[in-house]
Chains A and B, each alone.
Chain A
Amino acid sequence: NAGVMQNPRHLVRRRGQEARLRCSPMKGHSHVYWYRQLPEEGLKFMVYLQKENIIDESGMPKERFSAEFPKEGPSILRIQQVVRGDSAAYFCASSPTAETGNTIYFGEGSWLTVV
């Protein structure tokens, strides 16, 4: 059973470009979470999605960032007009349900570098 798959693992973008990060949850998991790890900081929650629904986006920056989890295909975290401060590791996690006790499984992360 494959784990949480994230791609690309490393992405370099110039300032002003768009970055798209993809996350395929574990098989059978319909709940996806995105976290960001900035240099010298811990991981911060960004957004929680179920299929076709955003459940909690309280950690998402108000501008330039969006996330989706369509009925078919991976979850996408999209960053428009990237700036140097967006350089970070972005982690996706998944769980089968939101039921207490479920293990939240993390992917290996996507490292975004903005030059």
Chain B
Amino acid sequence: AQSVTQLDSQVPVFEEAPVELRCNYSSSVSVYLFWYVQYPNQGLQLLLKYLSGSTLVKGINGFEAEFNKSQTSFHLRKPSVHISDTAEYFCAVSLPGGTSYGKLTFGQGTILTVHP
């Protein structure tokens, strides 16, 4: 079975500073990787996903993530954050295969708080 570990439960950062949210996964087979963002009392919005190909994935709102197979990591980065980026971020994996793709395994979440 696969698992996802988000190494930081909370990350405080000042506005316009860079940020990295860390995600490690464990799986005996290849996986697909996702980052979702959840604003308070709202659903999840997809930021980006890695299925194959280039290990550097660019997403919405200026976020990017890099897939590192040897370190089984998929860290999320943004070079300059805004107050509006304050939210909870979830890393998730799923397995290849028709009925497995949408069955996501999520990490515990990282709360990003951007201070003025």
Contacts and interface: CB of A to CB of B under 8 A. Distances in A.
A93 to B, nearest CB: 7
Interface residues of A, number: 29
Interface string A64-103: 0000000000000000000000000001010100111111
Interface string B48-81: 0101000000000000000000000000000000
Interface of A: 4, 6, 31, 33, 35, 41-45, 48, 55-56, 91, 93, 95, 98-109, 111
A104 B42 contact: no
Name B's interface SS. Answer: loop
Contact of A98 (B44, B45, B90, B101): B101
Interface in B66-116: 90, 96, 98-99, 101-109
Given A91-B43, A106-B43, A109-B43, A43 B106 contact: yes
Contacts of B90: 42-43
Contacts of A108: 41-43
Contacts of A101: 51
Interface residues of B, number: 23
B21 to A, nearest CB: 14
Which 4 pairs from chain A and chain B are nearest by CB?
A106-B43, A106-B44, A108-B43, A42-B106
23 contacts: A33-B102, A42-B107, A43-B44, A43-B90, A43-B104, A44-B106, A45-B104, A48-B103, A56-B103, A91-B44, A93-B44, A98-B101, A100-B96, A100-B101, A101-B51, A103-B46, A105-B46, A106-B36, A106-B45, A107-B43, A108-B42, A108-B43, A111-B41
